[in-house]
Amino acid sequence: MGFPNSNGDSLERLYLDSAQTGISRNLVKAELVSSVSWLIKLRWIAGAGVLIATWIVHSFFNIGAPIAVLSGIGVAILLYNLFFLTSERRAKQRGASEDEFQSLAIWQTALDWLAMTLLFHYSGGVESPAIWYFIFHIIIAAIFFPQRTAFLLSILAILLVSGTVLLEYMGWLPHHALQNYLPLSLYQSPLYVLGVLSFFSTTAIFVTFLVSSIQERLRRREAEVIQLSQDLQRATVRLQAINEISKVVGSTLDLKQVLERLVETTAKAMGVRACSIRMLDKSGRTLEPVAVYGLSQTYINKGPVDALTNPLAKETLSGKVVNIPNAPQSPLLQYPLEARQEGIQSMLSAPLLGKSGPLGILRVYDTKAYRFNKEDEEFIAAIAAQGSIAIENAIAYQAMSELDKMKSQFIHTATHELRSPVSVTRSLLRTITAGYAGEVSEQQKEILERAARRIEYLQKLIDDLLDLAAGKVSNFIPEALQPISLKEIIERIVERYKIPAQEKQIELQFECHCPDDKVFVRATEDALDRIFNNLISNAVKYTLTGGKILVKMESLNGETHVAVQDTGIGIPEGALSHLFQEFYRAPNAKELSAEGTGLGLAITKDLVQRLEGRITVESKVGVGTTFHVFLPLVRAETQPISSME
């Protein structure tokens, strides 16, 4: 089986297609199109110039030139230029190739040189002042064509001029003298003819050499600029790819997702057909495929890869980037037949190195032989280095999550085992204190009551630990969550703390500013009771005599907002960032009450987050504290409420 079709164009493939071939060809074609257009514009001036010059000579000078023929040459130049203009426009409209524009330029040059030769012949031959206009055409040819072609055209110009002069000299062509222009007829003067041809030839060769040399240097500079542009674009694309890989693999700490995103992004960034990651197993001997992109299942299951005996694996895990240009013929491959059947022609392997040693191998595959170069090796090494960090972070996070889960399970088990004996001890102490086991003295009763208070605190700690551990080792069962009337829950809790608040002469109020009293959140009654019981009980506990507590509820933008505001002791600014940490209590809270587990707010935050809500706090020492709880609203049918409502 071969590679499956890849979806979308990769950054690297787009670069190779456009930068390496497209940019250079587009520039060459653009230059050709521009040159053809420029020649056409210039020829309008030349044709009109011939007609104007002929009219001036005829009207103001008695030179006796063949006016009709010269005018005909001027008209011919304009006519074939009109043909070239039409051809050029049609070529542009249909997006003609380079070759078509090159052919158009050659035909223009050929007809121009023919017209120039006729103009030279009919304006006096060797005696003609128009002979030096050939130099303009030689300069144009040297600009438009390569140096070798320019020299050939320059030699052609010399042959055309020399041939015309010699044919006139020998009488094989009629000589059209310009009367009253030169005092003597010089076209049969050997010395004059030789001098003119010598100076014309040397000038033509020198001009061709000079212009073509300058043009060649400009072309080389242009090629260097194009190459630098391509290199810069390649570097930019690869930096973008590495940045993209960094963002992709850094967007999650889930190991499976990191590996899958790494292989897919690498394949697309390098423009290859497939990519895989093999990781060392716990024994450190076998390389297991953990993430694959673009390979068939048959190839993935081809057989085991032993890190100690597989030649390619051994060389790569030693820290080298291994480039295999012709995979089916490579002695490093353990499964060359399977590679041929898969259509793999070239491979590039890079080691994934962790802090404590090799983690595995990142490998890319392509269907073209000799696909990878030195730049590709450096690029995959950079990707592997980036990927190794992400993989190690994900592994560490996974290990920490497992340890945290084990810790929570231990706490849950231990506290659960403690709950029964503590409950029994608590019951026995109450029995003794009440005198059911016999009469106790006042001193004994005081000691027993102190012990009972400590047991009560221990019971509270066990309950909180069980609540905290339960939240970490399990999640809400989605089916258990249902629309709950939040107002009814809060009213019940406020009523629960009316008497404790009155005992401290604290004013406890509840206000509901909702357009509809039936405000529902998706939760369980027990979870909502724990959240707001913790917040309101803390407000009562840490508000001094004569204070005030306001519980305010409102709904806005698809969520409900409950604020528990008190005029209590407040929280120091330095303690706010630690407030929701496990076992943490603010210093002034410890001074006011020695009892407290420091777990209530940690449990509250965990419950709020599990209900897809959020909790914040603002406080000032001596002024009071306000806790804000935000929970998403739902209809009674469990449908989320739109933020537009």
Question: Which of 35-49, 241-255, 262-276, 574-588 comes out lowest in average pLDDT?
Answer: 241-255
Kindly state the average pLDDT of the residues 186-198: 85
Domain 253-395 CATH superfamily: GAF domain (3.30.450.40)
Binning pLDDT at 50, 70 and 90, where does residue 28 land?
Answer: low
pLDDT score, position 212? 86
Secondary structure of residue 228 in the 3-state scheme: helix
Q: Tell me if 570 sits within 8 A of 622, measured CB to CB.
A: yes
Instruction: Provide the pLDDT for residue 6.
Output: 39
- Does the pLDDT of residue 249 top 70, yes or no? no
Which helix or strand (DSSP H or E) is residue 632 part of? strand 624-634
For the record, the structure tokens of 283 come out as 């024994």
Residue 4 clears pLDDT 50, i.e. is over it: no
Mean pLDDT, to the nearest integer, of 596-620? 85
pLDDT of residue 12: 43
pLDDT for res 471: 58
- The whole-number average pLDDT for the span 370-399 is 85
Residue range 132-174, pLDDT digits in tens: 888 888 888 888 778 888 888 889 888 988 998 899 888 898 8
Averaged pLDDT for residues 201-211: 90
State phi, psi for 334 to the nearest 5 degrees. -80, -25
Please state, in angstroms and rounded to a whole number, the distance separating the CA atoms of residues 531 and 631.
12
pLDDT, mean of residues 61-66 = 73
Q: Does 309 have pLDDT greater than 80?
A: yes
| φ and ψ at residue 538, rounded to 5 degrees | -65, -40
Q: Is residue 387 scored above 80 in pLDDT?
A: yes
Single out the residue of 628, 629, 627, 625 nearest to residue 547, CA to CA.
625
**Residues 386, 249 contacting (CB under 8 angstroms):** yes
- Residue 419: the pLDDT is 58
Please report which helix (H) or strand (E) contains residue 375, including its range. helix 374-433
pLDDT at 595 (0 to 100): 62
What does the pLDDT look like over 265-298, one tens digit per residue? Answer: 888 888 898 999 999 988 888 999 999 999 999 9
Please give the pLDDT value at position 413.
Answer: 63
| pLDDT of residue 64 exceeding 50 | yes
The angle that helices 98-122 and 24-60 make with each other, rounded to 10 degrees, is 20
Start-end of H helices in 279-325? 297-300, 311-317
At residue 407, does pLDDT exceed 70?
no
Percent pLDDT > 90 in the chain is: 20
pLDDT of residue 82: 92
Q: Is 150 helix (H, G, I), strand (E, B) or coil?
A: helix
Q: From 622, 615, 587, select the one nearest 601 (Cα to Cα).
A: 615
User: Looking at residue 604, what is its pLDDT?
Assistant: 86
Average pLDDT in the 30-57 region? 82
The least confident of 13-27, 89-103, 337-351, 611-625 is 13-27
Which pLDDT score, from 0 to 100, does residue 393 have?
82
Which phi and psi (to 5°) does residue 324 adopt? Answer: -110, 100
| DSSP state letter for 287 | E
Q: What is the pLDDT of residue 616?
A: 93
Q: Which of 233-242, 355-364, 616-625 has the least mean pLDDT?
A: 233-242
507-513/548-556 β-pairing: parallel
Q: Which fold has domain 478-634?
A: Heat Shock Protein 90 (3.30.565)
Domain boundaries, the chain: 24-230, 253-395, 402-473, 478-634
pTM for the whole structure = 0.46
Question: 517-545, pLDDT tens digit by residue?
Answer: 677 898 888 889 889 988 998 899 889 99
Average pLDDT, the chain: 81
- Does 33 have pLDDT greater than 90? no
* Residue 600 clears pLDDT 90, i.e. is over it: no
Q: What stretches of 193-311 adopt beta strand conformation (E)? A: 274-280, 287-293
